[in-house]
Amino acid sequence: MRVNLLYLIIAFFLSFIFFFIAIPLLKEDKITQHIREEGPKSHFAKSGTPTGGGIVFLIVPLFFVSLFANKEFIFIYLSFLLNGAIGFIDDFMSVSKKRSLGLTARGKIVLQFAVAFVLYFIGRPLFSSTVSIGNFSLNIGNTGYFFLYLFVMLGSTNAFNLTDGIDGLSTIVSIPIFVSFAIIGGVLIKNVSFVMLGMLLAYLWFNSPKASVFMGDTGALALGGVVAAMSFVSKSEILLAFFAVIPVIEAISVILQVSYFKITHGKRIFKMAPIHHHFELSGWSEAQIDFRFFIITVLSCILGIIVNGGI
């Protein structure tokens, strides 16, 4: 545990230094956020905030490669890096076009599928066709596991991307997730979890309302990628639904909103989706949403750990 805490502290200070250096550079190069027109009006005050800070997330783990290097870590880091690279392309295009939309939805999903396929063949020796939670286990076969893999990988990356919509939210709900991985995982998963916690705490320093920097799609897609990869390595694919309850809810809210809008020709279930915007428009402050979603995540993570058989 002492070593794990040391990893957290090192990751925190490395990230803090990089963010401290990166924020003025992002400002100087005008790599700043463009707010989507249909978003909450209060968000227009965020326009011009440096974005793409998630690039720091992709750099810091490189300092730990010599300590963690094995096939499991390579798979986890590549999932982190390659999904983050898609986000970086999206952020770059958004900045260059001076609008909130970078890659098209189709372009992004094509790249995500491509990355998912590459990662599947890299990580295939690590996979098992048996999924389990607690004392329950089920062999779903190689084909079944492949489709589960695609669902988890693409679902996680997109769900975390949707969650990254207000200051501090994606970070504060990710912290209990990595604490939970540290509790249930083996040595490598614990090590990676503490590194992630150190980076997230440093980012939260700068991203807590009112944010000085955004992680952008670079950070959000990377987060979703690393969480998915860690669930495969730790054999907690089903348990991930408990840990990542907020990203799951965010994704479901968008699916419901879009489906209902199309079926009813213009009616909406929520004031705006993802659901954190619904609560914003209902009068909740960003800090209230952050803390309440954090509490929900903590409780769901505890429930997941209990269901899985405890510590």
Find the mean pLDDT for residues 211-216.
Answer: 88
Which candidate, 227, 254, 195, 209, places its Cα nearest to that of 6?
195
Check if the beta carbon of residue 220 is closer than 8 Å to that of residue 161: yes
Quote the pLDDT of residue 291: 95
Q: Please state the domain count of the chain.
A: 1
Q: In the predicted model, what is the mean pLDDT of the chain?
A: 90
- Residue 216 domain flag: yes
Residue 136, helix vs strand vs coil: strand
What is the predicted pLDDT for the residue at 119? 97
Helices of type H across 32-140: 55-59, 65-68, 71-97, 105-123
**Does a structural domain hold residue 253?**
no
| pLDDT for position 134 | 83
Q: List, for residues 122-177, the tens digit of each pLDDT value.
A: 999 999 899 988 888 899 999 999 999 999 999 999 999 999 988 889 999 999 99
Structural domain that includes position 150: 2-237
**254 is a domain residue:** no
**pLDDT surpasses 90 at 46:** no
Find all residues with CB under 8 Å of 24, minimum gap 6, and list them.
none
pTM: predicted TM-score of the whole model, two decimal places = 0.92
pLDDT band for 42, please (50, 70, 90 cuts): low
Taking residues 77-97, report their average pLDDT: 89
- What is the tens place of the pLDDT at every residue in 90-102? 988 887 766 666 7
Residues 47, 216: Cα–Cα separation, whole Å: 13
Residue 79 lies in a domain: yes
Asked if the structure places residue 44 within a domain, the reply is: yes
Say which amino acid occupies 286: E
**Within a domain: 252:** no
Q: Is residue 184 part of a domain?
A: yes
Domain assignment of residue 147, yes or no = yes
